[in-house]
A and B are shown apart, each in its own frame.
Chain A
Amino acid sequence: MSATSPTRTIAPTTRRVPPLGGFNLTVMRIEIARMLRNRRTIVFTFVFPAALFLAIGSGSGWQEKAGNGNVAAYLMLSMALYGAALTAAAGGAMVATERALGWSRQLRLTPIHPGVYIGMKALIALLLGAVAITVVNVVAIVQGRATMPTDRWVEAALLTLVCTMVFAALGVFVGYLVPGENAMQILGPGLALLSFLGNVFIPIDDGTVLWHIASWTPMFGVAEISRAPLTGELPWYAVVNAVGWLAVFVAGAAWRMSKDTARV
């Protein structure tokens, strides 16, 4: 018992608050290492989109002209977008597992700002999305069929990366919405379906009923945007679609996050 010696008190004001809301590179490094250790992530990120590109691109007609390049380039852009979207969504959806494990709760007992944390998660999702895009592009270059002007090639890759943000936000949203490991089981097939509707796998004929429905789905707009440097056309509704869905997913994620007071 400390009855004889006076208890020392701690002066609360001598303690500092970390800068930047807790943003730091140690977390980024560990999170990236963590994702790269996950075999499923590796398959989704590095192997699947590239394999899909090789499989679809092996059909005839790859050398036909498409906008400023050829069909092979068109396919490459589509697969890069698909791979990056899947990776980013998987990264975002990791919050589901983290919540189930009580990690999110543990983090709320540290100085890190929840917004900064989600920001770091989004950044990591984008980084891995960039890797997915790079892998498909490198495979395409090695294969040697895709042709398009270099500046437009770079432009398209960067645009794809920007578009990936939509799916990082979607991943976080679904991660908060769906408990535990189920998030990815919804996102995997869900993104495949959206990719079909978004003109990523198979072209949908303009003006058909299916096309009209598809033009409202989340993959449609970003697909048009990421291919714009190749096709040379950027319809206004594609931009509206992409911006609209980004707003919906970010708002949804923010809304679920603010509701996230449950003790898990």
Chain B
Amino acid sequence: MDTRTPPASTAAAPAIRLEQVTKQFGTVQAVRGIDLTIEQGEVVAFLGPNGAGKTTSIDMMLGLSRPTSGSVEVLGMAPRQAIARGLVAAVMQTGGLLKDLTVRETVAYMASLFADTQPVDEVLAHAGITGLASRKVGKCSGGEQQRLRFAIALLSDPALLLLDEPTTGMDVEGRRAFWGAIRADADRGRTVVFATHYLEEADQYADRIVLVRKGQIVADGSGSEIKALAAGRTVRATLEHADHSAVTALSQLAGVESVEVRGDTVLLHATDTDAVARHLLTQTSAHDLEITARSIEDAFLSLTGDDETDADSPADHGHVLEGTTR
């Protein structure tokens, strides 16, 4: 299942290593203890709803903000040092360009700041914006500005590229071309991490999906693993006198996401419902079992959503997913 490239046998530093990272803004805990290692050459999607902590995490990887606690390393060094060597680049959705510079001036300006870059003309040609070279950035369309942002990001041939919602506003054709180019670069060793809130995009283009919710990683695995997770099923059974310890025992079964008790009925959301059924029938007095599939969207929402019913779920999810991470 895992199609990710195994870490190179050489002692190559991981592209990103976050250890016990937290970030607090005033009273708001944006990131609540993230551990994450991304090896070089991986294409990783940071998936989660708005406000999940994706952007905050990326800002820390870029050295734009410091974690409240924990450590962040990029290619084996502090983020700022990696940036000083031109090893890290990022493309944001908006901004980051001066309207009163021409396209060529913008590229030349940025190129002059790095120790090693490709020639400006080549960069313009590669990004397909040679024809725009003498146009003011303010007069370029949104798509043209986005191409310019990519041209700038690739100037220093970065080892790590961070993208924030990269394909927002792109049409289907542009999206395909974009991801084709990104994949080609990844195959040459570039690590790509992108933030998105589209499950489909993450599944289609990432080797690995890191699901974030409320500042924590709730799932980490390949697209198919995440989909399997999301495609979990519900087991419904009659279980008389289900007390607290019985529920706790059930919730600790491998693959169980949540346990709900409604009178004499228990509802278990699980990835491996066969195992749950076997357990219920052989180890407990449960009867009248019923197994139903959840829709992918429902399940995905339950992983990333903000519903009250599973307020204590991050721990549960962490447990569920132990088997699937790395």
Residues on A facing B (Cβ under 8 Å): 1-3, 5-12, 15-19, 22, 24, 26-27, 30, 33-34, 37-38, 98, 101-103, 105-112, 261, 263-264
Contacts of A37 on B, CB cut-off 8 Å?
100
Cβ contact within 8 Å between A1 and B101: no
In the complex, A141→B88 CA distance in Å? 54
Interface residue? B12 (CB, 8 A): yes
**A-B CB contact pairs (8 Å), 13 listed:** A10-B75, A10-B189, A12-B13, A15-B85, A16-B115, A18-B113, A18-B114, A30-B101, A102-B95, A105-B96, A109-B89, A110-B114, A111-B113
Q: How far is the CB of A242 from chain B (nearest CB, A)?
A: 33
**Is A109 touching B83 in the complex (CB atoms < 8 A)?**
yes
The residues in B between 77 and 96 inclusive whose CB is less than 8 angstroms from any CB of A are 77, 82-90, 92, 94-96
**Residue in contact with A12 in the complex, picked from B65, B89, B159, B187, CB distance below 8 Å:** B159
B32 to chain A, nearest CB (A): 20
Rounded to whole angstroms, the CA-CA distance of A172 and B114 in the bound complex is: 25
Q: How far is the CB of A263 from chain B (nearest CB, A)?
A: 7
Q: Which residue of B lies closest to A100 (CB)?
A: B95
Complex formed: what's the CA distance from A103 to B145 in Å? 13
A-B contacts besides A34-B98, A106-B95, 14 pairs, CB < 8 Å: A1-B3, A7-B5, A9-B10, A9-B41, A12-B76, A30-B105, A101-B95, A102-B96, A102-B97, A103-B96, A103-B98, A106-B110, A111-B84, A111-B114
* Interface: B315 (CB within 8 A): no
> Inside 8 A of B88's CB, which chain A residues have their CB?
109
Please report the C-alpha to C-alpha distance between residue A18 and residue B156 in the assembled complex, in whole angstroms. 12
Q: B253 in the interface, Cβ–Cβ < 8 Å?
A: no
How many A-B contacts if CB must be within 8 Å?
Answer: 133
How close is A4's CB to chain B, nearest CB, in angstroms? 10
CB neighbours of B5 from chain A (8 A): 2-3, 6-7
The residue on A at minimum CB distance from B138 is A101
A16 to B87, CA, bound (A): 10
| Total residues of chain B contacting the partner, CB 8 A | 54
Judge if B188 is at the interface, Cβ distance under 8 Å. yes
Task: Assess the A9–B87 pair: CB atoms within 8 A.
Answer: no
> Known contacts being A5-B187, A102-B96, A109-B62, is A10 close to B109, with CB within 8 Å?
no
Residues of B within 8 A of A15 (CB): 85-87, 115-116
**A11 CB contacts on chain B under 8 angstroms:** 12
Q: Is B112 an interface residue (CB 8 A)?
A: yes
Chain B residues packing against A (C-beta within 8 Å): 3-5, 8, 10, 12-13, 40-41, 55, 59, 62-65, 75-77, 82-90, 92, 94-101, 105, 108-116, 152, 159, 186-190, 207
B85 contacts across to A, CB distance below 8 A? 12, 15-17, 111
CA distance A106 to B96 in the complex (A): 5
A37–B75 CA distance with the chains assembled, in angstroms: 41
A264 contacts which chain B residues (CB < 8 A)? 95
Is the CB–CB distance between A108 and B114 below 8 Å?
no
10 residue pairs, one from A and one from B, having the closest CB atoms: A102-B95, A7-B41, A26-B112, A15-B85, A8-B189, A16-B115, A9-B12, A106-B96, A10-B159, A12-B75
Residue of A nearest to B101 (CB): A34
With beta carbons under 8 angstroms apart, the residue of B82, B90, B113, B207 that contacts A24 is B113
Question: How far apart are the CA atoms of A110 and B95 in the complex, in Å?
Answer: 16
Q: Report the bound CA distance from A105 to B90 in whole Å.
A: 11
A105 to B95, Cβ gap below 8 A? yes
Contacts of B40 in A (CB 8 A): 7, 9-10
Residues of the A chain whose Cβ atoms lie less than 8 Å from the Cβ of B87: 10, 12, 15
Q: Tell me if A109 and B75 are in contact (CB < 8 A).
A: no
Chain B: CB-nearest residue to A117: B113
B8 near A3 with CB under 8 A, answer: no
Measured in the bound complex, the distance between the Cα atoms of B76 and A2 in whole Å is: 23
Q: A9-B12, A10-B40, A109-B62 are in contact. Are A101 and B97 (CB under 8 A)?
A: yes
Residue of A with least CB distance to B187: A2
When chains A and B are docked, how far (Å) is the Cα of A3 from the Cα of B87? 24
B-chain residues with CB within 8 Å of residue A7 when the two chains form the complex: 5, 8, 40-41, 187, 189
Residues of B within 8 A of A26 (CB): 108-109, 111-112
B58 to A: closest C-beta gap in Å? 10
Determine how close the nearest CB of chain A comes to the CB of B194; give it in whole angstroms.
Answer: 16
Shortest beta-carbon distance from B84 to chain A in Å: 4
Tell me how far the C-beta of B222 lies from the nearest C-beta in chain A, rounded to whole angstroms: 11
* Chain A hits for B3, CB < 8 A: 1, 3
Nearest B residue (CB) for A113: B84
Q: Say yes or no: B84 contacts A12, CB within 8 Å.
A: no
Distance of A202 from chain B, by nearest CB (Å): 36
Inter-chain contact B189/A18, CB cutoff 8 Å: no
Least distance between B291 CB and chain A CB atoms (Å) = 33
Chain B CB within 10 Å — which of A8, A11, A30, A106 has the most? A106
